[in-house]
Structure 1
């Protein structure tokens, strides 16, 4: 709202470009057409004023649609024919949730707080809204798609939107006035469901955005279906995602060409691969992403099926899981000082039959003769190397099997710049 205040565009509700004589969400001809292959192809063209970092952010926001819906990718509501503009100011709008908010307008969605049944879920305090802005809160005739009101929608305004009295909310949820509203972290689970229902997307996609939870293959603990293609996007509110499998039984085949699970270190299939196509039985070591998002992909063919998998997720402050060769591992924030009160686990897994060779390029922790405060251990099977602390040279370490773990701990005082290590796989 603040960014668009000085705009000379004809903006409704602060960020919607109006076109005369057209309804918003009840206009079926305004939806983007579906292609023969069942996808909704939305071409786009970015202004030359955006830098590489902005373009990468746009790509990340759009990739999330591709992972969770049949949309294939800034704003009239819906498709107007020809080109349409989505105005995203470099100075104030470079956030994934804001980008997705505007893209949702282009796909045909209005703000959540003006949908036709909103009075059952929120109270609008017009006494704290200047009369000139009352129209922003006017209910619309909407197609609610048979889905409930979504306080967590990326399309919902925050509770103080357009207030004219400091500290007084304009939107109050009910019956619980303390329910959080107005997030801009990214699409909510219901946002995804609405897109897929509006465009009749035939996709198996799940968004898991709580602090912790469970995910399982379809029909678990019975056999999963044939010809399945599913994804789970895990997005914890903060920190890094940790994923732990408690059961794993996927049809085994050479190079896992039949059925497999694959895990990406980020929200889309463009993200780095943490765990490449994996099948068979036996538990997978715990997975820790570098951010608060992981994408889990599962695919099955038309032949024999297994029981599937069950995994739990939560968030951890730090750590990581490494399956790809020749990468670096650093303490949180390196080369800046790490934070106090950390406990981080980094697990490196080489292919079966190979070992991990670890070297340290830099090492500086809080100094103490007995390494009682900030400390690093390295584990391989039953062997423990360390403890290591202080400014010192740590010699190269070769694992005794195909897995090696680093455990880093800091106490509440006297942080330092930490460490940088590199590893390779060897026979």
Structure 2
């Protein structure tokens, strides 16, 4: 598999190199030189999830890793359920939160850990990542206890839920966590600065576990195929509209790669909260990030999504106009009302999925006269209990804690506070990580 740097196209690397590097020259994202096209999509959709995922990922890797090794990596990473649940007559939710840290990030993080083990040379490695909530837990759990690998997670102090934080700040060992005085964009900028610093990059064997790492995106491609496979059992030969709760836009990128491979998806909806850089850009063509706004859907509080260049690259390669991508910005009040509406219908959700559900409802309503009747899927990216305070307040309930959260709820937080200052981060890394 060859990939090129979107910022410096002359830089081309193998999959193994892209996994090891994370980012390319000039902070450029790696993107496939060729997106594999699947010839008989119905045969692929009829496969069991694990077998299909093994097949899809091998289409990208093109023999770069031993096939038996890839099969084992996928089987080990994707060993939990992802049910498609009917919510009402027109909408389904793909529940991606049945993994060990109760969020969709488990798919990408666990597969990435397998990839790094497969392509590594045995030298010490430092995983540096920023999280707006769920990435931190998924990455920390995927790498916890692994030899020769240290993980440093940066998160915005006071801007993620307490239970989200507890899932990764209580592990200790090779997991180091920093509570940054700033928003997610500030955390992400510190990570990018670290990758630009040759002393850190080479001295610590730096790698990233954010969705900038291509291995995570390949893993996420697989669950879009599963969503459509389950959907078409109920609605043969119909292509769903898929609404994606969007923050850093890695999730949407994976969906668009799946469609580029031949997956039948009618339209994608990029559903954001009040951090609406992309909806505004799609509306007027001007990229104008505002200051990040804190919302109830904190994992999507991203004003400058890193993966957006990959979305545009996918559209460009496939000849899709950007106008083919639908978008919506859903404010906290509307998200809360949607959360209540879902609960009245018997489905308990959380703020991020509620945003995607609201955007899907509005899109379907605008196409009410279409034949056949349009149907859609929204992604459930996290277990409702990860946002217990918000859900309990909005729904006037008391959600029970699943075991993964109950066992860390009273554990001490081991995170260290730090200013959003690169010099301070560099001092920390060389004092604590080397």
When Rg is computed on C-alpha atoms for both structures, the one with the higher figure is 1
Relative to total residues, which structure has the larger helix share, 1 or 2?
2
Which structure dedicates a bigger proportion of its chain to strand?
1
**TM-score, L = length of structure 2:** 0.26
Q: Which has the higher contact order (CA 8 A, sep 6+)?
A: 2
TM-score norm. by structure 1 comes to 0.26
